[in-house]
A and B are shown apart, each in its own frame.
Chain A
Amino acid sequence: MAKPSSSKGSESSAIDINNLFLTFETQTEPVHALSDINLKVEAGDFVSLIGPSGCGKTTLLRVIADLEKPTSGSITVEGKTAHQARLDRAYGYVFQTPALLPWRNIESNIHLPLEMSGYSKSEQKKLSQEYLSLVSLTGFEKKYPWQLSGGMQQRVSIARALSFSPDMLLMDEPFGALDEITRDRLNEELLRLWEQTQKTVVFVTHSIPEAVFLSTKIVVMSARPGKIIDVIDTNFPKDRNLDIRESKEFLKVSQLVREGLKEGHSDGS
Chain B
Amino acid sequence: MNFLAIIRSRPLSGLLCLIFSIASFISFQLNEINEYALNSFIVIIIATVSLLFFIIRQQGLVLLSICFVALFSGTWSVLNLIHSFDKGVVMGLDAWFLVSALWFLAWNNLVQLSALKTKNKLIELSLNIVIPVLFGAWIFFLWEVITIGMSVPQVLLPAPSLIWQVFDGFGATLFADFYQTFVRSAIPGFIMGCGAGFLVAIAADKVPFLRRGLIPIGNFFSAIPIIGMAPIMIMWFGFDWQSKAAVVAIMTFFPMMVNTLSGLNETDRIDRDLLHTYASSYWRELFSLRLPNAMPFILNALKINSTFAMIGAIVAEFFGTPIVGMGFRISAEVGRMNIDIVWATIAVAAVTGSMFYGVFALLERKLTFWHPSMRKS
Nearest opposing residue in chain A for B292, CB measure: A103
The tally of residues in A whose CB lies under 8 Å from a CB in B reads 24
A146 CA to B371 CA in the complex, in Å? Answer: 10
How does the 8 Å CB contact mask read for A122-162 relative to B, with 1 for contact and 0 for none? 00000000000000000000001010000000000000000
Q: How far is the CB of B113 from chain A (nearest CB, A)?
A: 32
Q: Which 10 A-B pairs have the closest CB atoms?
A: A102-B370, A103-B370, A93-B277, A87-B279, A99-B270, A113-B278, A99-B274, A103-B292, A95-B270, A116-B278
Q: Is the CB of B271 within 8 A of A116?
A: no
Nearest opposing residue in chain A for B288, CB measure: A112
- Is residue A20 contacting chain B, with contact meaning CB distance below 8 A? no
Q: Is the CB of B292 within 8 A of A93?
A: no
- Is residue A12 contacting chain B, with contact meaning CB distance below 8 A? no
Report A-chain residues with C-beta under 8 Å of the C-beta of B270. 95-97, 99
Q: How far is the CB of A52 from chain B (nearest CB, A)?
A: 22
Report A-chain residues with C-beta under 8 Å of the C-beta of B271. 99, 101
A93 CA to B275 CA in the complex, in Å? Answer: 10
- Is residue B284 contacting chain A, with contact meaning CB distance below 8 A? yes
Known A95-B270, A96-B270; contact A102-B277, beta-carbon cutoff 8 A: no
Q: Is the CB of A101 within 8 A of B273?
A: no
A113 CA to B276 CA in the complex, in Å? Answer: 11
How does the 8 Å CB contact mask read for B341-377 relative to A, with 1 for contact and 0 for none? 0000000000000000000000000001111100100
Report B-chain residues with C-beta under 8 Å of the C-beta of A89. 277-279
Q: How far is the CB of A267 from chain B (nearest CB, A)?
A: 31
Q: How far is the CB of B148 from chain A (nearest CB, A)?
A: 53
How does the 8 Å CB contact mask read for A79-92 relative to B, with 1 for contact and 0 for none? 00000001111011
- In chain B, positions 249-288 with a C-beta closer than 8 Å to chain A are 268, 270-271, 273-274, 276-280, 284, 288
Residues of B at under 8 Å CB distance from A?
A: 268, 270-271, 273-274, 276-280, 284, 288-289, 292, 295, 368-372, 375
A93 CA to B277 CA in the complex, in Å? Answer: 7
Given A101-B292, A116-B279, 7 other A-B contacts at CB below 8 A?
A86-B279, A99-B271, A101-B289, A102-B370, A103-B292, A116-B278, A116-B284
- Is residue A65 contacting chain B, with contact meaning CB distance below 8 A? yes
Nearest opposing residue in chain B for A115, CB measure: B288
Nearest opposing residue in chain A for B273, CB measure: A67
Q: Is the CB of A146 within 8 A of B370?
A: yes
Report B-chain residues with C-beta under 8 Å of the C-beta of A99. 268, 270-271, 273-274
Q: Is the CB of A102 within 8 A of B278?
A: no
Q: How far is the CB of A108 from chain B (nearest CB, A)?
A: 10
A101 CA to B272 CA in the complex, in Å? Answer: 11
A88 CA to B277 CA in the complex, in Å? Answer: 10
26 A-B contacts (beta carbon < 8 Å):
A62-B273, A67-B276, A67-B277, A86-B276, A86-B277, A88-B279, A89-B277, A89-B278, A92-B277, A93-B273, A93-B277, A95-B270, A95-B273, A97-B270, A99-B273, A99-B274, A101-B289, A101-B292, A102-B370, A112-B278, A112-B288, A115-B288, A116-B278, A116-B279, A117-B278, A146-B372
Partner of B274, one of A86, A87, A88, A95: A95
Q: Is the CB of A65 within 8 A of B277?
A: yes
A93 CA to B292 CA in the complex, in Å? Answer: 22
Q: How far is the CB of A83 from chain B (nearest CB, A)?
A: 9
Q: Is the CB of A144 within 8 A of B370?
A: yes
A97 CA to B271 CA in the complex, in Å? Answer: 10
Report B-chain residues with C-beta under 8 Å of the C-beta of A101. 271, 288-289, 292
Residue in A87, A96, A101, A115 with the greatest tally of chain B CB atoms within 10 Å: A101
A140 CA to B208 CA in the complex, in Å? Answer: 40
A65 CA to B272 CA in the complex, in Å? Answer: 13
- In chain A, positions 50-101 with a C-beta closer than 8 Å to chain B are 62, 65, 67, 86-89, 91-93, 95-97, 99, 101
Q: How far is the CB of A250 from chain B (nearest CB, A)?
A: 33
Report A-chain residues with C-beta under 8 Å of the C-beta of B278. 89, 112-113, 116-117
Q: How far is the CB of A126 from chain B (nearest CB, A)?
A: 19
Residue in B279, B284, B289 with the greatest tally of chain A CB atoms within 10 Å: B279
Report B-chain residues with C-beta under 8 Å of the C-beta of A67. 273, 276-277
Known A102-B371, A112-B288, A116-B284; contact A93-B279, beta-carbon cutoff 8 A: no
Q: How far is the CB of B300 from chain A (nearest CB, A)?
A: 16
Report B-chain residues with C-beta under 8 Å of the C-beta of A113. 278
Report B-chain residues with C-beta under 8 Å of the C-beta of A117. 278
Q: How far is the CB of A96 from chain B (nearest CB, A)?
A: 7
Report B-chain residues with C-beta under 8 Å of the C-beta of A146. 370, 372, 375
A264 CA to B372 CA in the complex, in Å? Answer: 43
Q: How far is the CB of A154 from chain B (nearest CB, A)?
A: 13
Residue in B271, B276, B278, B370 with the greatest tally of chain A CB atoms within 10 Å: B278
Report B-chain residues with C-beta under 8 Å of the C-beta of A112. 278, 288
Report B-chain residues with C-beta under 8 Å of the C-beta of A95. 270, 273-274
Q: How far is the CB of A177 from chain B (nearest CB, A)?
A: 12
A99 CA to B268 CA in the complex, in Å? Answer: 9
How does the 8 Å CB contact mask read for A177-208 relative to B, with 1 for contact and 0 for none? 00000000000000000000000000000000
Residue in B274, B292, B368 with the greatest tally of chain A CB atoms within 10 Å: B274
Nearest opposing residue in chain A for B284, CB measure: A116
A93 CA to B371 CA in the complex, in Å? Answer: 25
Report A-chain residues with C-beta under 8 Å of the C-beta of B276. 67, 86
A115 CA to B292 CA in the complex, in Å? Answer: 16
Q: How far is the CB of A181 from chain B (nearest CB, A)?
A: 25
A115 CA to B278 CA in the complex, in Å? Answer: 10
